Structure 1
Amino acid sequence: MSNLPIDIITNILSRLPVKSLVRFLCVSNRWYIVINGQAFIKLHLHRSIESKTDRTLIVQEQNACIPFDYFSFSFHDENCFGKPLEIYQPLHCSNVSTDILSCCDGLVCLYNQWGEEIAILNPLIRNLERSLKLRYVVLGYSVGKKIEDQWPNKEWSICSDSVFSNGALNWLVAEEGQSPENIVAFDLATEKFRIIRTPHKAPTSCVTCLEVLGQLCFIVIVDEMYNDVWLMKEYGEESSWTWIYKIEQGVVGSTFEYCKPLMRSKNNGKKILMEESYRYRTYPIWYDIEKKIRKRFKIPKLPEVFQTVTCVGSLLLLDGDNVIDPTLAGHNVIDPAQKNNW
């Protein structure tokens, strides 16, 4: 290996999962410098996204016990999930839950309502930034002021949770009593708004929401009947809205409220991993969008009620950190005696 050119070594390493790369930090000073380089970190993230490899489910348990527990499940293919690994809650506060706000490029954003604090962490390498006040993390004070001043239509109110896609925060908006026909997107780089038309005007009796399935999704939910899903193949291009599937009661075989799409299968993308919710129970399912076949399956030690975000394997670090610590990285299972070290 010592005789291989550095560009070939870099090419090989960029195709490996985070867990392996953390171990390889100890191979040599040469490899340590390569793996910690910003160019390599960006290359590895791009390849992980494009190849749909090194993916993880971050599961937030939801039940009467507060605070909630978090687990990560490595995801290799549609029939192979890794064993659950506990993720320590850096914003632990008794009797108050910590919620997952979002996940992007391998970083998970957690929010504690009691202290109005946010923690951003990379769960695979345990890199953490904590105790950040909400107003400064989500948008920043000056950006928040710009949103108020530049809001495109004063008659529009936000009627969905925000989702992050293509560098922008996206909300469904509508006038009072109307169903959403527009999406307002706020580009975090340019701090500018844009308006995107939805692909379908749903009846006011239906619920609509936004999700991300690789690209931005628009979903119409007809209570306990069906979910209709459109995908924007080219972000910002309204003509690229494409209807991709409908999941109906008769197909599912049991009553459901909502089937949240999480990710596509690795090989052909014709199967969608979903989180199915009904009457205080949650189930993971695979749905074949061509054959219209739904299959519920089990993941060992999965909580009965949970919420899920998908996370790609990433070496991204946070402000103030310029190297990966091989003594911490890659060990999601935390010894209780070590929790005070966070």
Structure 2
Amino acid sequence: MAGLPTDINIDILSRLSVKCLLRFKCVSKSFCSLIDSQEFIKIHLKRSIETNSNLSLILSGTPAPISASSRYWGGKIFSAGLDSLNLGVELDHPFKNCKGRTPIVDSCNGLIALKNDENGIALWNPSTEEHLILPKFWGDLKDFTVVDGFGYDAVNDDYKVVRLVQLVIGNVGYTEIAVYSLRTNSWRRIRVGFPYYILHGWDGTFADGHVHWLVTNNPEDYIENLIVAFNLKSEEFHEVPLPHLENRNDVLVMFVGNFSGCLYFSCLCNYPQPVDIWVLKGCWTKAFSFPRSVGDYVKALAYSQSGGKVLVDKFEYGEDEDINRWELFWYDLQNQGAAADQVTIHGVPQGCRDTIVCVDSLVSLAACAGRGVAGREGRMS
């Protein structure tokens, strides 16, 4: 390949996995320089997203969405290639040896934002093992509700973390909002209106340049009933209309997530109503409908390489913590209610967990920040 034109080399290399590319950096200085270039990193990422390839399922031991749990896997996080899903590999993440929970906030372009009860937030690329620990600039937050979000500002070519800290006394809520910019490697507080209430403290979901949270405008509500979106470019909030729900009074819990790059919405209704999943592509479209026998909560994760199946993580709720469990299935889109193949990932513990799909990428935190930041703390401005 050394004698081939650069554009041919780029086309060939962009089809390889990140693991192969990291090995190829040792071939020569020219290969190393090419693979490390921002142009190549973006081409490789774009091809992976467009071809639905180089995807990994990331599993972390966090509580189920509708049940508290004391099982956190000791802060362990696992990864399994989406093509096979037969073996889970434990990852060396930045908070691996820290006490407390380590939930994943979200993933974007191969980067993962995760946080630890005692050590704050970190940005981490599990493919390259590069990480950055963000500064902690709040004091004791035990009386506050704290939610975070993470995503990519494509206009400014910047990765951002958004933190909402809310204190509610009676019907009055005070919310402080801060945005971390990887490009400047610093936090800044912003002053925008937020006339909403955060009930359950679930972190946001990134899709289409926005971070989305489920909220309510009434602190006495027992479930969220609004989607609010934060534009990472303009750094302003706006409401996203919910899909049309025929039995809105029967809704028990609402959820939002990211499916194949798009925002999705689902809700748990009174038995025996099905679990419907809508995907937002300009307007809401009901993409899947699963019978309640499938599970209490069905989380859509990804399409198969052929596009004929969808990977779902289903949750069954029970009063006993041992009954609260997730199970992975591939569902045939032609027969969603019956044709399902259960997935067993060896080496991954049982129990309550969270799952996200992450594209393997070469995106560099140090390059995005404009200086060497791997393993170092950021700052507050």
TM-score by length of 2: 0.73
Residue 189 of structure 1 corresponds to which residue in structure 2?
233
**1:227 equivalent among 263, 270, 275:** 275
Cα deviation code 1:15-62 (max 9, x no counterpart):
111001001101111111110000110111111111011111111136
Q: Report the more deviating stretch, 6-15 or 273-282.
A: 273-282
What is the rounded CA distance, in whole Å, between the counterparts of 1:28 and 1:128 in structure 2? 26
Cα deviation code 1:184-243 (max 9, x no counterpart):
21111221223221112422643111111021101121255431111112xxx3xx2111
CA distance 1:142–1:245, change in 2 (3 Å)? closer
What is the rounded CA distance, in whole Å, between the counterparts of 2:211 and 2:86 in structure 1? 31
Q: Report the more deviating stretch, 96-105 or 169-178.
A: 169-178
CA distance 1:289–1:211, change in 2 (3 Å)? same
State the one-letter code of the partner of 1:129.
L
Residue 291 of structure 1 corresponds to which residue in structure 2?
335
**1:112 equivalent among 116, 119, 144:** 116
**2:75 aligned counterpart, secondary structure:** coil
Residue 282 of structure 1 corresponds to which residue in structure 2?
326
**Contact 2:72/2:101 (CA < 8 Å) preserved in 1?**
no
Deviation at 1:149, TM superposition (A): 3.0
What is the rounded CA distance, in whole Å, between the counterparts of 1:157 and 1:64 in structure 2? 28
**Contact 2:278/2:284 (CA < 8 Å) preserved in 1?**
yes
Cα deviation code 1:249-272 (max 9, x no counterpart):
34x3xxx2211111111112x321
Structure 1 residue 73 and structure 2 residue 121: aligned? no
State the one-letter code of the partner of 2:280.
M
**Contact 1:84/1:300 (CA < 8 Å) preserved in 2?**
yes
**Contact 1:66/1:95 (CA < 8 Å) preserved in 2?**
no
**Contact 2:229/2:239 (CA < 8 Å) preserved in 1?**
yes
**Contact 1:259/1:274 (CA < 8 Å) preserved in 2?**
yes
**Contact 2:18/2:360 (CA < 8 Å) preserved in 1?**
yes
Residue 244 of structure 1 corresponds to which residue in structure 2?
287
Tell me how large the CA RMSD over aligned residues is.
2.9
**2:128 aligned counterpart, secondary structure:** coil
CA distance 1:286–1:47, change in 2 (3 Å)? same
**1:291 aligned counterpart, secondary structure:** coil
State the one-letter code of the partner of 2:331.
Y
Residue 356 of structure 2 corresponds to which residue in structure 1?
309
State the one-letter code of the partner of 1:203.
N
- Give percent identity, aligned residues only: 30
What is the rounded CA distance, in whole Å, between the counterparts of 2:47 and 2:249 in structure 1? 41
**Contact 1:163/1:212 (CA < 8 Å) preserved in 2?**
yes
State the one-letter code of the partner of 1:157.
Y
CA distance 1:262–1:189, change in 2 (3 Å)? same
Deviation at 1:282, TM superposition (A): 1.8
Deviation at 1:8, TM superposition (A): 0.6
- 1:198-213 matches, within 5 Å, as 198-201=242-245, 202-203=248-249, 205-213=251-259
In structure 1, stretches of 5+ residues that fail to align are 329-342
State the one-letter code of the partner of 1:246.
S
State the one-letter code of the partner of 1:211.
G
Structure 1 residue 138 and structure 2 residue 161: aligned? yes
**2:35 aligned counterpart, secondary structure:** helix
Deviation at 1:286, TM superposition (A): 1.2
CA distance 1:223–1:86, change in 2 (3 Å)? farther
Q: Report the more deviating stretch, 95-104 or 221-230.
A: 221-230
- 1:1-342 matches, within 5 Å, as 1-61=1-61, 64=71, 67-76=74-83, 80-81=84-85, 83-92=87-96, 95-115=99-119, 117-130=120-133, 132-133=135-136, 138-139=161-162, 143=179, 145-146=189-190, 149-151=192-194, 154=195, 156-158=196-198, 161=202, 162-176=204-218, 177=221, 182-201=226-245, 202-203=248-249, 205-214=251-260, 215-223=262-270, 225=272, 226-233=274-281, 237=282, 240-250=283-293, 252=294, 256-268=295-307, 270-278=308-316, 279-292=323-336, 293-305=339-351, 306-319=353-366
**1:211 aligned counterpart, secondary structure:** strand
What is the rounded CA distance, in whole Å, between the counterparts of 2:324 and 2:301 in structure 1? 19
State the one-letter code of the partner of 2:74.
P
**2:366 aligned counterpart, secondary structure:** coil
In structure 2, stretches of 5+ residues that fail to align are 63-69, 139-147, 149-159, 164-176, 180-187, 317-322, 375-381
